[in-house]
A and B are shown apart, each in its own frame.
Chain A
Amino acid sequence: MTHNTITIDGQEVPFEVGQTIMDAALAAKVYIPHLCHYPGLTPHGNCRLCSIEIGKKSVAACTTPAVAGQQISSNTPAINAARKSITQMLFIEGNHICPSCEKSGNCKLQAMGYFLGMLDEHFPQFYQRRKIDASHADIVLDRDRCILCDLCVRASREVDGKNVFAIAGRGTEAHLIVNSSSGKLVDSNLEVDDLAANICPVGAILKKSQGYDVPIGERIYDQHTISEIGLQESIAKESKSDDN
């Protein structure tokens, strides 16, 4: 296989032809912030947290192919400031009130806020009111917390082979829908062990009766940064692919 290199913040990073900048970076243990990317799923590029700069142009690392010789800036004050603003946008667009959310401590949006040193939400809130779907015996869908990252949509389609979710509506009306005649989760074939039921980075898709199995303070992002977990996810995926 041909090995080429790109340069991220001065560090040489090897890549294989066909890899995106994100793939190459994570494989080289260079963390680029991301929320809508998950190793192994088709990249989507909607959250824009992984915005990087090649020359004067800003692109999403998760959807841009690595090309030999690319000079990339990622961890700069200006880009991190933009990432923080984007994170704040996601916070105010939905209802992300951590103390009242079961996902707190395991939430990637929250962890992204920590990682980027976000102290406040800056923008005025949208006071979103989307429909909650608690019809499923084991899973609840709280759309007010959905960040439209599309991970559950792709996980269901590409890994679970089910196609349970989709995103409908335009602009700020965009919302997660369920692929069943009633539009309710109970009439879908979603099961608790599906990747789609487990991949939600925030508290939009939650498993019932497990919310406080691990106490607040002992959860993932109480103990690790999102960069550590992001790199781990990538390594886990790679070793899994190697096994196959």
Chain B
Amino acid sequence: MNQSISNNPDSKSVHLLHRLYALQQQHLCISSESMQQVANEFCLPVSQVTAVVEFYTFFSRGPCGRYHLLLSNCTSCGYLVGGENFLLQFTQALDVSPGETRSDGLVSLGETSCIGMCDHGSAMLVNGMPLILHNADRVNHIAQLINAKTSLADWPAEWFQVHESVNKKGLLLNQNFIPGLSLKNTLAQGANEMLETILASGLRGRGGAGFSTGQKWQFCRQAEGAGHYVVCNADEGEPGTFKDRLLLRQHAESMLEGMTLCAFIIGAERGFIYLRGEYRFLLSDLQTVLAAYRRAGLLGQRILGKEDFDFDIEIVVGAGAYICGEESALIESLEGKPGIPRIRPPFPVTHGYLNQPTVVNNVETFVAAAHIAVHGSAWFKTMGTTQSAGSKILSVSGDCELPGVYEYPFGVSVQQVLQDCQASDAQAVQIGGPAGVLIGKQDFDRQIAFEDLSTGGSFMVFGVHRDLLTINRNFASFFAHESCGFCTPCRVGTQLLKNNLDKIAEGRGTRQDIVEIKRLSELIQRYSHCGLGHTAAHHVIDGLQRFPQVFEENLTQQSFMSPFDLDKTLEEARQITQRDDAAAHLK
């Protein structure tokens, strides 16, 4: 093992996350010895390497199986979608429990947060590759292939086919993008002029928060530093969103140019695309595009022959952590650390990557910026509302006939989207993912816009047959799993919230538990360190406000119930003593 590490020719220039990924691939785990070795290679304390390994879902200290199955637990691409329980089916078919590796070391099974396959239904990652689960027959077929040790290359290729369903094109997706044009325009106009154009376009960050892109670039440009950086946030982790997957696959050129013209404006020489680990399968195609851009003189030294315009982009692949979608956590991750959000202020525009001025924008924002550079600010403002210029690309999933990507002018009503995706029996829509807003029918006339319903792109439809309490439990469990653990209210609070909702779902919830949930939700929302905590209880607050009957129906009439099932607390003793008499049970 040590041999293989020291033989790595360019280990020094490799990103820590990539080095650890390689070790994980090679040994199916990252042992203490490996961590020590990596610490030596990177001149890091071994505690930092350990902290990184333990932070990210896709690294493990104990051995995974040669076939490592991670089933999404998202409400749109999770293992329970479509009335099946694929996790249970795999457990039975493969004789391995979730979270464990089978004793022969062949296979391991687990859950992971949304893998961005929501338009395909139930899906999983097998050794990092997305695979569509489809039906129970496929589960059994997969189990057979695994037990027969069939190489993944020999599995049916269509299982791995990720289709891009673009059901509605708008302002951006309709454009025929001519490579290099946005950069030529930028150079022709000059940095000042182009910044003015971006400012005038009214472009706001597409991640959901909606900060003015032009102002962000301006602040960064004005900030002093040894170097400026451009970071593209391709860590599309909000459950229910997958539109960046489309953009990264089919519109990477405009994204790269958006980054490059940003670099020109702020004076950056280095840029990063932080690609979520779940999208690793897009890596080689992206690198091909980068290489083509370098060959065409659109990236690298003296871009378009312009003296002093040097800029190149590196792709860093994450390793499974929703929190890294938060810009300062993303920067921490880029720096080879656990993704724990920084104290803000200072903001990344002045103190970002390596504490230098850094612009972090969403994939869609850079795509939009490149198109604005080509078509101008007036063109962009022809669509949208006064406060939300342009278009929004939505990832529509859940209970509808036509899941997929939809691009609308800002201001579109929820009702319109539901009509277009043929969601005939929607009772609720989750806009902006679990961190966003849960609305019911009475709000379907509201608009998708920063001033009304803001979303990074996730649009999840829940039909009348869906039990919304199950949805709330799923989201609560998601946040408890993804909380970085830094601050008390979020670390402990999200877990308590999950436990409380589970209690209600198990039929042991009382009126007092509802009071408790409200109090807890407010605490988490108000006192947490970062955006994850500030938004983690939104779905519960919305649920209690808009769908109170969902909770009421499940409450017991008793005034008090223990947080746990009392009889179960004797189960262990019953087994040890082999007793099952009346006194060995509790009510």
- List residues of A whose CB falls within 8 A of some B CB: 43-48, 51, 58, 60, 63, 65, 82, 85-86, 89-90, 92-93, 123-124, 126, 147-148, 163, 165-174, 177-183
7 A-B pairs with CB atoms under 8 Å apart are A82-B523, A126-B495, A147-B488, A167-B51, A168-B55, A172-B495, A178-B47
Secondary structure class of chain B's binding surface, majority of residues: helix
Q: Which residues of chain B are near A183, meaning CB under 8 Å?
A: 32, 50
Give B50-66 interface residues, CB cut-off 8 Å to A.
50-51, 53-55
Docked-complex contact A45 and B487, CB < 8 angstroms: yes
**A202 to chain B: closest CB distance in Å?**
13
Binds A, one of B380-388, B443-451, B525-533: B525-533
Give B340-365 interface residues, CB cut-off 8 Å to A.
343, 345
Q: Which residues of chain A are near B45, meaning CB under 8 Å?
A: 163, 166, 179
Tell me the nearest residue of chain B to A126, going by C-beta: B495
Docked-complex contact A46 and B529, CB < 8 angstroms: yes
Whether A58 touches B483, Cβ cut-off 8 Å, given contacts A169-B55, A172-B491, A183-B32, is no
Expressed in whole angstroms, the Cα–Cα distance for A167 and B486 within the complex equals 9
Docked-complex contact B488 and A177, CB < 8 angstroms: no
**B344 to chain A: closest CB distance in Å?**
9
Which of these, B481, B527, B564, contacts A48 with CB under 8 Å? B527
Docked-complex contact A180 and B46, CB < 8 angstroms: yes
Docked-complex contact B47 and A163, CB < 8 angstroms: yes
Expressed in whole angstroms, the Cα–Cα distance for A85 and B489 within the complex equals 9
Give B457-498 interface residues, CB cut-off 8 Å to A.
480-489, 491-496
Tell me the nearest residue of chain A to B322, going by C-beta: A170
Docked-complex contact A86 and B51, CB < 8 angstroms: no
Q: Which residues of chain A are near B488, meaning CB under 8 Å?
A: 46-48, 86, 89-90, 93, 147
Docked-complex contact A45 and B527, CB < 8 angstroms: no
Docked-complex contact B321 and A82, CB < 8 angstroms: no
CB of B250 within 8 Å of the partner chain: no
Expressed in whole angstroms, the Cα–Cα distance for A90 and B485 within the complex equals 12
Expressed in whole angstroms, the Cα–Cα distance for A171 and B56 within the complex equals 11
Q: Which residues of chain B are near A82, meaning CB under 8 Å?
A: 523, 526-527
Which of these, A60, A86, A89, A171, contacts B481 with CB under 8 Å? A171
As a 0/1 sequence over residues 19 to 49 of chain B, the CB contacts with chain A under 8 angstroms (1 = contact) are 0000000000000100010000000011110
Tell me the nearest residue of chain A to B57, going by C-beta: A170
CB of B267 within 8 Å of the partner chain: no
Tell me the nearest residue of chain A to B40, going by C-beta: A181
Docked-complex contact A172 and B485, CB < 8 angstroms: yes
**B499 to chain A: closest CB distance in Å?**
7
CB of B563 within 8 Å of the partner chain: yes
CB of B116 within 8 Å of the partner chain: no
Whether A48 touches B529, Cβ cut-off 8 Å, given contacts A93-B492, A169-B485, is yes
Tell me the nearest residue of chain A to B526, going by C-beta: A58
Q: Which residues of chain A are near B403, meaning CB under 8 Å?
A: none
Tell me the nearest residue of chain A to B525, going by C-beta: A58
Q: Which residues of chain B are near A44, meaning CB under 8 Å?
A: 343
Q: Which residues of chain B are near A63, meaning CB under 8 Å?
A: 343
Most buried by A among B345, B486, B493: B486
Expressed in whole angstroms, the Cα–Cα distance for A75 and B533 within the complex equals 23
**B123 to chain A: closest CB distance in Å?**
23
Q: Which residues of chain B are near A174, meaning CB under 8 Å?
A: 485-486, 491
Tell me the nearest residue of chain A to B339, going by C-beta: A170
**B477 to chain A: closest CB distance in Å?**
11
CB of B338 within 8 Å of the partner chain: yes
Q: Which residues of chain A are near B523, meaning CB under 8 Å?
A: 82, 85-86
Whether A168 touches B47, Cβ cut-off 8 Å, given contacts A46-B486, A48-B529, is yes
**A157 to chain B: closest CB distance in Å?**
9
Expressed in whole angstroms, the Cα–Cα distance for A8 and B47 within the complex equals 40
Q: Which residues of chain A are near B499, meaning CB under 8 Å?
A: 124
Docked-complex contact B46 and A48, CB < 8 angstroms: no
Docked-complex contact B47 and A165, CB < 8 angstroms: yes
Docked-complex contact A86 and B489, CB < 8 angstroms: yes
Q: Which residues of chain B are near A182, meaning CB under 8 Å?
A: 32
13 new A-B contacts, CB < 8 A, other than A60-B529, A179-B46, are: A51-B526, A65-B345, A82-B523, A124-B564, A168-B53, A168-B54, A171-B481, A171-B494, A172-B495, A174-B486, A177-B50, A181-B46, A183-B50
Whether A90 touches B492, Cβ cut-off 8 Å, given contacts A45-B487, A65-B345, A168-B55, is yes
Q: Which residues of chain A are near B563, meaning CB under 8 Å?
A: 124
**B402 to chain A: closest CB distance in Å?**
36
Docked-complex contact B487 and A168, CB < 8 angstroms: no
Q: Which residues of chain B are near A123, meaning CB under 8 Å?
A: 492, 496
Tell me the nearest residue of chain A to B529, going by C-beta: A45
Q: Which residues of chain A are near B486, meaning CB under 8 Å?
A: 46, 174
Q: Which residues of chain B are near A147, meaning CB under 8 Å?
A: 488
Expressed in whole angstroms, the Cα–Cα distance for A63 and B345 within the complex equals 9
As a 0/1 sequence over residues 532 to 571 of chain B, the CB contacts with chain A under 8 angstroms (1 = contact) are 0000000000000000000000000000000110000000
Expressed in whole angstroms, the Cα–Cα distance for A173 and B45 within the complex equals 21
Expressed in whole angstroms, the Cα–Cα distance for A46 and B491 within the complex equals 10
**A73 to chain B: closest CB distance in Å?**
13
Expressed in whole angstroms, the Cα–Cα distance for A170 and B528 within the complex equals 15
Whether A166 touches B343, Cβ cut-off 8 Å, given contacts A171-B484, A172-B495, is no
Q: Which residues of chain A are near B529, meaning CB under 8 Å?
A: 45-46, 48, 60
Q: Which residues of chain A are near B496, meaning CB under 8 Å?
A: 89, 123-124
Expressed in whole angstroms, the Cα–Cα distance for A183 and B481 within the complex equals 25
**B74 to chain A: closest CB distance in Å?**
18
Whether A166 touches B491, Cβ cut-off 8 Å, given contacts A58-B526, A124-B499, A124-B563, is no
Q: Which residues of chain B are near A89, meaning CB under 8 Å?
A: 488-489, 492-493, 496
Tell me the nearest residue of chain B to A51, going by C-beta: B527
Docked-complex contact B485 and A166, CB < 8 angstroms: no
Expressed in whole angstroms, the Cα–Cα distance for A82 and B487 within the complex equals 14
**B105 to chain A: closest CB distance in Å?**
24
Docked-complex contact B480 and A172, CB < 8 angstroms: yes
Instruction: Pick the 7 closest A-B CB pairs, nearest first.
Output: A174-B485, A179-B47, A166-B47, A89-B492, A168-B51, A124-B563, A168-B54
**B224 to chain A: closest CB distance in Å?**
18
**B88 to chain A: closest CB distance in Å?**
24
**A197 to chain B: closest CB distance in Å?**
16
**A42 to chain B: closest CB distance in Å?**
10
Q: Which residues of chain B are near A180, meaning CB under 8 Å?
A: 46
Q: Which residues of chain B are near A167, meaning CB under 8 Å?
A: 51, 485
Expressed in whole angstroms, the Cα–Cα distance for A93 and B488 within the complex equals 9
Docked-complex contact A166 and B345, CB < 8 angstroms: no
Docked-complex contact B492 and A92, CB < 8 angstroms: yes
Q: Which residues of chain A are near B47, meaning CB under 8 Å?
A: 163, 165-166, 168, 177-179
Most buried by A among B32, B485, B494, B495: B485
Expressed in whole angstroms, the Cα–Cα distance for A169 and B489 within the complex equals 17
Most buried by A among B46, B338, B492: B492
Give B509-523 interface residues, CB cut-off 8 Å to A.
519, 523
Whether A173 touches B485, Cβ cut-off 8 Å, given contacts A82-B526, A124-B563, is yes
Q: Which residues of chain B are near A86, meaning CB under 8 Å?
A: 488-489, 523, 527
Q: Which residues of chain B are near A178, meaning CB under 8 Å?
A: 47
Expressed in whole angstroms, the Cα–Cα distance for A148 and B492 within the complex equals 12
**B585 to chain A: closest CB distance in Å?**
22
